[in-house]
Amino acid sequence: MSNGSNLAAKVCLGSDPPGSATRLQLVDPKQCGERAVALLAVHQNFLKGLDSTPAPARFAPDDQAFRMQLPRTIADLNVLISAAKTGNKGDVLQAATAYNDDMYPIVTDALNDVDPSVTHP
């Protein structure tokens, strides 16, 4: 996010600035698909890392949130990537909204608990 703008929110959710009303004309399937591909790799690696790194007891609720939600967000991203390939803005918006709903606030709150030095919106 810079200057009150978030490219992912704009090109995937049609929202600029983030949290504003959706404007379908802002959705850009190609750019959104590129972001989804990048996020997919990050989520997959993060989830894989959880299997080899036991969480300290104080982060058990966050660990549970990651283990519950990340498989959902990975599935959402696969749907979003497929939707982006069709070029249909409405389908991209629908898939991006599903991903957003599975990420926020459960995963972002857990990320903020684990590493408060980085604020996740």
Q: Check residue 61 and give its pLDDT.
A: 97
Enclosing domain of residue 82: 29-114
The Cα diameter of the chain in Å comes to 46
For residue 1, name the pLDDT band (cuts at 50, 70, 90).
very low
pLDDT (0 to 100) of residue 4: 61
Residue 119 lies in a domain: no
Reduced to 3 states, what is the DSSP secondary structure of residue 14?
A: coil
Going by C-alpha positions, the residue among 80, 4, 5, 88 that lies closest to residue 43 is: 80
Joined together, the tokens standing for residue 113 give 């608990």
Two tokens, residue 39: 């996020």
- Domains of the chain: total: 1
For the entire predicted model, the pTM comes to 0.92
Residue 10 lies in a domain: no
Residue 103 lies in a domain: yes
Residue 2 located in a structural domain: no
Span 85-98, average pLDDT: 99
